Amino acid sequence: MKTTVFSLVVTLLLVNPLLAASTKRPAQAVLNAPLSIPVVISGRQSGSVTIGKGTVVTVAHVRRDRLQINFQGSQAWVKRSDTDFDQRLAIFRQTKTAAQAQIQQAQAAQNAVARDQQVKAAADFQDQHNNYTNPLDKGAYDQQRSVVDYYDWLGRRYHIGVFGQRIYQ
């Protein structure tokens, strides 16, 4: 499930370039009316170019009621109403909002999976340690567990008790 959610997010970011880019507005617009733009070569105006209706232009800057557009190296400020920028902006925001909602859903699903795994791990830990008994609960001295064999000078085998006494067998 984790890899599915991760692959979904990666797919969304790779398939939709609007999500991957950190832009806040559309990069292009289409002109609604013909427009005449001055052509500048080496800093001097050398004429003008008429751009027809329906031409795609690049948006460089946005102001309240104006856009700076680029068309084949020439720039001009035009009214927003002369382009379809506002319609594109509305679609752009809807798409971005929908994509963010999908990413949030994927993150919520991933968090739910992580919570379920934590609950399962805690339950497994409890199951493993329910049957555990502390060695001190068995008593201070258990002859079978704490035997270290020594031999005295007579060759008799013994082990040391809890209080340091010799215990012969």
CATH number assigned to the domain comprising residue 43: 2.30.30.40
Q: What's the mean pLDDT when you consider all of the chain?
A: 80
Residue 141 within any structural domain of the chain: no
pLDDT digit string, tens, across residues 17-51: 444 445 788 889 999 989 888 888 887 888 888 99
* Global pTM value: 0.52
For range 123-128, the mean pLDDT: 87
pLDDT recorded at residue 93: 92
Three-state SS for 152? coil
Q: State the amino acid at position 85 in one-letter form.
A: F
Structural domain count, the chain: 1
Tell whether 123 is covered by a domain: no
Are 23 and 10 a contacting pair, CB within 8 Å? no
List strand residue ranges (DSSP E) for the chain, in order. 28-30, 35-41, 44-51, 56-62, 66-71, 74-79, 149-151, 157-160, 166-168
Within-domain flag for 68: yes
Residue 140 has a pLDDT of 56
CA 20 remoteness from chain centre = 12
Domain span at residue 66? Answer: 2-89
The pLDDT of residue 163 is above 80: no
**How many Å apart are CA 159 and CA 169, to the nearest integer?**
8
Position with higher pLDDT, 166 vs 70: 70
